[in-house]
């Protein structure tokens, strides 16, 4: 089904930027530049949103601090995916009463998915009276306007109206990492998996125009970014709403054609829409990382159908087979929900057998969490929590064994590793990622950060690989890297 995507006019965003300057004039300047503390929960989409919120804050003249105590403004970007995520946020928000008491005039803002979900804004209004501003993902582009209302009116502002959502281009960004970047390619979700709150809080699927995405990627590549992740709740739906005849596989090819020395990753692929065209494009594009996150959720057809996932166990396994045919060493990761309402022990064992069969490189396992307003939250759920917990543990144990075995197979090989950071382990002071995204702890000088170097893998654990720069080649590759990054 095609929808007409609403785009926020560029002049609207320019107006928001003008409001940033009005805010800069209003903020007290007593002890120098005002400071903002930004905290982000949840997924990469939220991280990407926070980069835009920081962009606005910078325009308002804020510097950034890692301390709530020192902040003139606190902004918490929340997640609604599981109850646990919400509880953690609310616990921290509760504690800010004391921070604000010690620092009168501090402005506390909450945004993101949890704020958009039904009932939450009311709870904040009633029980968290120290919070000044609440807005959902749909209102992100209007953050300056909303903050100005708080500052001028000295009253609390709530903006959590339901909306199918829009696309806003031109919001400035403060990126967290010069080497790795998130690039949103689409927003929202139309899948309505029966357990999931995302379609209710992030609106309908809508795609950014290819030229906007490509110009963002080009400027990242020019700035020396080495690892770019294309983001969307379901990237395989990319372009359906644009009517330009460009789908995600086409977009991947176009991003691949952008000059530069970077890897392309993407998240998340829904198995029902991931198919031959995408797999072929991945195999063809030399910049596409040999990794796919393909969340299966369950290995049982009855549960998959109750989850409204739109594929069977066999169809999923067929896609995995085809992927491995085309890209033999592809790193495969997945999400699984244990304890979906009514999931029997036998049904859980089907999930376990799928995990044993596929042998994922890594798995994100979750206990089912009922989300208000979703169909699954209303289903009878007779299975006792202890049984769910037992199943959960069994799955985690099985995956740990598989991960350790998979990581063990790297020992003795040489991997092209992007060195992306440092750590305080004296034997392995550097961290990096293999092309497939596995974490490597390695020896070497801090000057290697930002380089793509061959690394001999010398050890492994359940969670990571250990290695040393492959001596002779390192020098050669460093020269090569320098040449490339100067282009």
Contact positions toward ligand SF4, by CB under 6 A? 42-43, 45-46, 79-81, 112-113, 197-198, 202
Residue identified by tokens 């616990």 is 91
Number of CB atoms found within 10 A of residue 118's CB: 14
80 binds, among ligand SF4, ligand 5AD, none (CB under 5 to 8 A by kind): ligand SF4
Helix (H, G, I), strand (E, B) or coil at 301: helix
Where are the extended beta strands (E) located within 15-82?
35-40, 63-64, 73-78
**Nearest-approach distance from CB 277 to ligand SF4, in angstroms:** 26
Say if residues 316 and 291 touch (Cβ distance below 8 Å).
no
Shorter beta-carbon distance to ligand 5AD: residue 196 or 465: 196
Shorter beta-carbon distance to ligand 5AD: residue 35 or 90: 90
- From residue 173 to residue 212, the character string flagging contacts with ligand 5AD as x (rule: CB under 6 A) and all else as - is ----------------------xx----------------
- From residue 68 to residue 107, the character string flagging contacts with ligand 5AD as x (rule: CB under 6 A) and all else as - is -------------xx-------------------------
Say if residues 252 and 278 touch (Cβ distance below 8 Å).
yes
> For residues 35-64, which are near ligand 5AD according to CB under 6 A?
none
> Where do the H-state alpha helices sit in 257-368?
276-284, 301-306, 313-326, 345-358
Distance spanning both ends of the chain, measured CA to CA: 43
**Nearest-approach distance from CB 366 to ligand 5AD, in angstroms:** 4
**Nearest-approach distance from CB 456 to ligand 5AD, in angstroms:** 35
CA-only gyration radius of the chain, Å: 23
Shorter beta-carbon distance to ligand 5AD: residue 62 or 266: 266
Helix (H, G, I), strand (E, B) or coil at 20: helix
Cα atoms in the Cβ-side hemisphere of radius 13 Å centred on 75: 29
Q: Work out whether 309 is an interface residue with ligand 5AD (CB under 6 A).
A: no
**Nearest-approach distance from CB 372 to ligand 5AD, in angstroms:** 10
Cα atoms in the Cβ-side hemisphere of radius 13 Å centred on 11: 0
What is the number of the residue whose Cβ is closest to ligand SF4?
Answer: 42
Q: State how far the Cα of 201 lies from the Cα of 177, in Å rounded to an integer.
A: 27
Q: Work out whether 114 is an interface residue with ligand 5AD (CB under 6 A).
A: no
> For residues 326-345, which are near ligand 5AD according to CB under 6 A?
335, 337
Q: Which residues bind ligand 5AD (CB under 6 A)?
A: 81-82, 195-196, 295, 297, 335, 337, 366, 368-369, 371
């Amino acid at each position: 089904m095609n929808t007409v995507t609403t785009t926020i006019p560029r002049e609207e965003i320019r107006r928001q930027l003008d409001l940033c300057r009005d805010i800069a004039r209003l903020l007290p300047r007593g002890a120098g530049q005002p400071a903002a503390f930004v905290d982000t929960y949840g997924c990469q989409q939220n991280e990407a949103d926070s980069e835009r919120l920081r962009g606005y804050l910078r325009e308002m003249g804020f510097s950034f601090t890692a301390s709530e105590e020192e902040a003139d403004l606190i902004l918490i970007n929340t997640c609604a995916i599981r109850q646990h995520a919400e509880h953690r946020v609310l616990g921290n928000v509760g504690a800010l009463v004391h921070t604000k008491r010690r620092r009168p005039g501090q402005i506390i803002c909450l945004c993101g998915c949890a704020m958009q979900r039904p009932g939450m804004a009311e709870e904040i209004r009633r029980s968290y009276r120290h919070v000044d501003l609440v807005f959902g993902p749909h209102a992100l582009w209007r953050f300056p306007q909303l903050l100005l209302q708080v500052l001028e009116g000295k009253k609390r502002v709530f903006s959590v109206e339901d909306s199918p959502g829009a696309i806003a281009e031109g919001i400035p960004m403060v990126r967290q990492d010069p080497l790795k970047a998130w690039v949103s390619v689409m927003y929202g979700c139309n899948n309505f998996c029966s357990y999931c709150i995302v379609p209710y809080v992030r609106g309908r699927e809508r795609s950014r125009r290819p030229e906007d995405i490509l110009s963002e990627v080009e400027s990242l590549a020019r700035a020396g970014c080495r690892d770019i992740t294309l983001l969307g709740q379901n990237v395989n739906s990319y372009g359906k709403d644009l009517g330009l005849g460009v789908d995600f596989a086409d977009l991947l090819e176009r991003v691949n054609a952008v000059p530069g020395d970077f890897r392309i990753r993407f998240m998340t692929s829904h198995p029902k829409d991931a198919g031959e065209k995408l797999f072929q494009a991945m195999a063809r594009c030399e910049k596409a990382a040999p990794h796919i996150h393909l969340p299966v959720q369950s290995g049982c057809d009855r549960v998959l159908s109750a989850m409204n996932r739109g594929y069977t166990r066999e169809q999923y396994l067929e896609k995995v087979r085809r992927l491995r045919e085309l890209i033999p060493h592809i790193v495969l990761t997945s999400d699984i929900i244990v304890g979906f309402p009514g999931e029997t022990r036998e049904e859980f064992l089907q999930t376990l057998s799928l995990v044993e069969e596929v042998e994922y490189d890594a798995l994100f396992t979750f206990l089912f969490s009922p989300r208000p307003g979703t169909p699954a939250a209303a289903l009878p759920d007779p299975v006792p929590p202890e049984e769910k917990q037992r199943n959960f543990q069994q799955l985690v144990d099985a995956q740990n064994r598989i991960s350790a075995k998979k990581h063990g197979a790297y020992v003795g090989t040489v991997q092209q590793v992007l060195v992306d950071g440092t750590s305080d382990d004296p034997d392995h002071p550097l961290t990096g990622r293999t092309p497939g995204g596995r974490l490597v702890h390695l020896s070497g000088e801090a000057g290697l950060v930002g380089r793509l170097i061959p690394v001999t893998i010398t050890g492994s654990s359940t969670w990571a690989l250990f290695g040393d720069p492959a001596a002779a080649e390192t020098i050669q590759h460093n020269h090569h890297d320098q040449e490339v990054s100067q282009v």
